[in-house]
Structure 1
Amino acid sequence: MNGICTLGNDYVFDQLVALLNSIDVILGKETPVCIYPFDDRTQRIADEIAKRPNVFLYKNQESIDRWDQFMLSAAPERLNRSKSRLYGAHRRFCAFDGPFDKFIYLDADTLVMNSLAAVFEKLDTYDFVVYDFQFKDVSKIYDVNSTKLLEVFEQKRIDSEIFCSGFYGSKKGIFNLEQKNWLISNLQNGEAEILYEGAGEQPLINYMVMRSNLAIYNFAQQLPDNQKTGCSATSKHFEQREHILYDKGTRLTYLHYIGIPPNINQAVCAGENIEFPYRDLFLHYRYLHEPEKRPVFKNPPKNYNESPTPSFLTRALRKLKLIQQG
C-alpha cells in the first residue's frame, strides 16, 4: 500500500489541518495519511482526525523508540528540547518502518498543489525522490569548512544529491538495523563533524541517504527548465488560480511555507492580522471544511517578520498549552 506521511503535534495543528485539507482536494479524501507524533502533545490532532477515516496517528511505539535511540546515538545534541525546537523532527524516519510500502513525506507546513503520481512512479526505479533546490545551498546541510567533508563525499555528489527534508518519496525497509548500526558507527568515528549544526534532522537524513548510496532522483534537476517549478513560499512570483499556484504557467507540485514559524499561523487563526506569503491560500485550506470559523481581521496588517506576536496572544496560547513555557 502507498500513502502520505507527515509529522506533527498540537503546536502545528493549524498547518496540519491545512495540509490534510489540501490532500482531500488534490489527492482525494480516500488517500491514506499517517501522522508521526513529534512528541506526546497530540490530543487536538486525535480529536480532529477522528472525523477523517483516511488519517491515523502512528502508534508503533517500538518503532518510535528505535528511531529515538538511533537519534540519541547518531546526533544526541539535536534531541535537546531546551536548545532545539526541532527535537522531535527525526520521528519522520518512522516512515522507513511503515505502514506504507511506498510513501511521500510532507512537512506539516506544506500544501499539496498537484498529483503526486509521478513521484510514486519514480520510486519504481529510485530509492529516494525529491523536488527542491536545496542543492544550491550546501551550507544548510553540511559544514563546508570541515576538512573531512570531501573525504566522505565527492564534490560532485555534494553539488547534486543534497535535498530539503520537507518533501521526499521513499520506501519501507531501506534502513534496516544493520544499516543503521553502520551509519551510527561512521558518525561516532568522526563523520558527525561534517553535519551542519542547525536544521534538526535535515543534515542527518541527507547523510543517511548519501552514505548509504541510495539511488536519488530530484525533479528540480532532471526536468526541463520550462517544466520545473519552485516550491518555497519565499518565491513571490507564483500566480494563484482557483486556489492552485503556478510558476510561469506551470502548476506547482507542492508549496512549502519555509520560514513561517507555527506561532504566526496560530496568531493569524486567532484573529491577528499578520501578513505572510500566500496567507489567503493557507487560510482557504485551513478553513476549507469550516469557512464560518475563518478569522475576520479588524486591525491593520503587520508583516510576520517585522513585529512579534502580541504578548497577550502568547499568554493565551500558553494557556491552551500550544506553546512551551520559556
Structure 2
Amino acid sequence: MNGIYTLANDIVYDQLVALLNSIEVNVGKDFPVRVIAYDRNLEKVRELIKDRKSVELIDDWELFHPWHDFSRKVWETHPSALQTWKEKGIDGVYRLSCNHRYFAFDERAPFDRFIYFDADVVVLNSLEFIFEQLDKSDFVIYDFQYKDPSHIFNVNSPKLFDVFPENKVRSEIFCSGFFASKKGVFPLEKRDWLVSKLQEGEAEVLYMNAPNQSVLNYMRMRSEIPIYNFSLHLPEAERTGCSVTSPHFEMRDNLLYDKGARLTYLHYIGLSSKLFSRLCEGENIDFPYRDIFLHYRYLKEPEKRPQFQGKAKPYDAPPSFADKVKKKLGLFK
C-alpha cells in the first residue's frame, strides 16, 4: 500500500492543518496519511484528525524504541557529538525525536511504499509520478540539496571523500524534509553493519547540527541504495524548485508555478513554527508565500482566517528599539 507520512506534535499544529488540507485537495481526499508522533504533546493533533478517515496517528513508543537505540549507537561512535551536546545542556542525542521518521522504514510500518514530508510543507500537485518512480528506484527525491553538502556532512572532515566519492556527495545528498522510499530497506542487520562502519572511524563525517538529516543520508549512501532525483532528470522546462527561499514562484489559483511549471510541493524550510503560530493568532507578519499557507490552513474554516489591517511586518525585520528595551527588561515571554 502507498501512503504519506509526516512528523508532528501540537507545536506545529497550524502547519499540520495546512499540510493535510493540501494533500486532501491536490493528492486525494482518501489518500492514506499517517502522522508520526514527535512527542506526547498531541492533544490538538488528535482532535484534528479524529474526523479525517484517511489520517491516523502513530504514537506507540514501542515502535520507536529500535530507532532510538540505533540513533544512540550511531552517535556513540562520534568522537565529540555527545560531549558537545551535553555541554550545551542536551541530554543524549540532539533532536532524537526527529528520528521517529525512521519508523517509515520499519517492517511493522503500514505503507509498503511511502513519501515522507515534514509538517512545514504544502503539497501542490499529484504525487503519482513519484510513486511510479519507486517501481524502478528504492529511494526517490526531488530537491536541490546537492548544491550544498555543508548541511548534510562535515565538509571539513578529511575523511569525507574517502568514505564517499566527491561526485556522489555533490549529486546524491538530499533534504530529509522530503523523500520517498520503501519499508524494509534498512533491516536490523543493515543497521548493525552501518554502526560498525561508523565505529571504524567514519563517524566524523556526520554533521552534528542536523543529526537526523546527516545520518539518513549516510545510511542511504553507505548502503549504496540507488537514488533518483527528479531535479537532475526532468527536462528543464518541467523542473521546479521547492523551497520557500526561492523568490520567483508565481501564485495562480492557490498553486505555485516555477517559470510556468507547477510545483509539486513547497517547503517552508528555515521558518520557525512560532512564526506560523503568531500569524494564525492574528499578528500581521509577512513571509514568503504567506497566502498559500493561509489558504490551506483555513480551507475548512475560512471564517477563522485572520483579517489583517495595514501593512504587514516582515518576518525578518530587525527588532525595534522598544522591543529591545522590553527584551532587556524581561517583559517578553
Is the pair's TM-score, using the shorter chain for normalization, greater than 0.5?
Answer: yes
Cα separation, partners in 2 of 1:22 and 1:85, compared to 1, 3 Å: farther
For residue 237 of structure 1, report the CA deviation from its aligned partner. 0.6
CA distance, structure 2, for counterparts of residue 284 and residue 308 of structure 1: 28
Quote the residue 1:44 is aligned against: 44
For residue 186 of structure 1, report the CA deviation from its aligned partner. 1.6
Q: How does 1:4-43 map to 2 (within 5 A)?
A: 4-43=4-43
For residue 48 of structure 1, report the CA deviation from its aligned partner. 0.7
Deviation sequence 1:105-154 (CA, Å, 0-9, x none)? 00100010110001101111111000000000011111111111111111
Of all paired residues, the percent bearing the same amino acid is 51
CA distance, structure 2, for counterparts of residue 212 and residue 277 of structure 1: 37
| Residue segments in structure 2 that go unaligned for 5+ positions in a row | none
Where 2:4 maps in the other structure, the secondary structure is: strand
CA distance, structure 2, for counterparts of residue 263 and residue 177 of structure 1: 37
AA of the residue aligned to 2:278: A
CA distance, structure 2, for counterparts of residue 223 and residue 75 of structure 1: 36
Quote the residue 1:324 is aligned against: none
For residue 62 of structure 1, report the CA deviation from its aligned partner. 2.6
CA distance, structure 1, for counterparts of residue 55 and residue 10 of structure 2: 15
55, 70, 90: which is aligned to 2:99?
90
AA of the residue aligned to 1:24: E
For residue 200 of structure 1, report the CA deviation from its aligned partner. 3.6
Quote the residue 2:188 is aligned against: 177
Cα separation, partners in 2 of 1:200 and 1:12, compared to 1, 3 Å: farther
For residue 303 of structure 1, report the CA deviation from its aligned partner. 1.1
Where 1:175 maps in the other structure, the secondary structure is: coil
Instruction: Tell me whether 1:280 sits opposite 2:310 in the alignment.
Output: no
Q: TM-score scaled by structure 1?
A: 0.91
For residue 75 of structure 1, report the CA deviation from its aligned partner. 2.4
Deviation sequence 1:84-103 (CA, Å, 0-9, x none)? 87442111111011110000
How many aligned positions are there? 315
Where 2:48 maps in the other structure, the secondary structure is: helix
Deviation sequence 1:44-78 (CA, Å, 0-9, x none)? 10111001111111144332111111111112658
| Residue segments in structure 1 that go unaligned for 5+ positions in a row | 319-326
For residue 188 of structure 1, report the CA deviation from its aligned partner. 2.8
For residue 156 of structure 1, report the CA deviation from its aligned partner. 1.2
Instruction: Tell me whether 1:140 sits opposite 2:151 in the alignment.
Output: yes
Instruction: Tell me whether 1:240 sits opposite 2:246 in the alignment.
Output: no
CA distance, structure 1, for counterparts of residue 240 and residue 283 of structure 2: 32
Where 1:75 maps in the other structure, the secondary structure is: helix
Deviation sequence 1:137-184 (CA, Å, 0-9, x none)? 011111111111111111111111101111111001001000011111
Task: Point out the structure with max Rg over C-alpha.
Answer: 2
The answer as to whether partners of 2:247 and 2:288 remain within 8 angstroms in 1 is yes
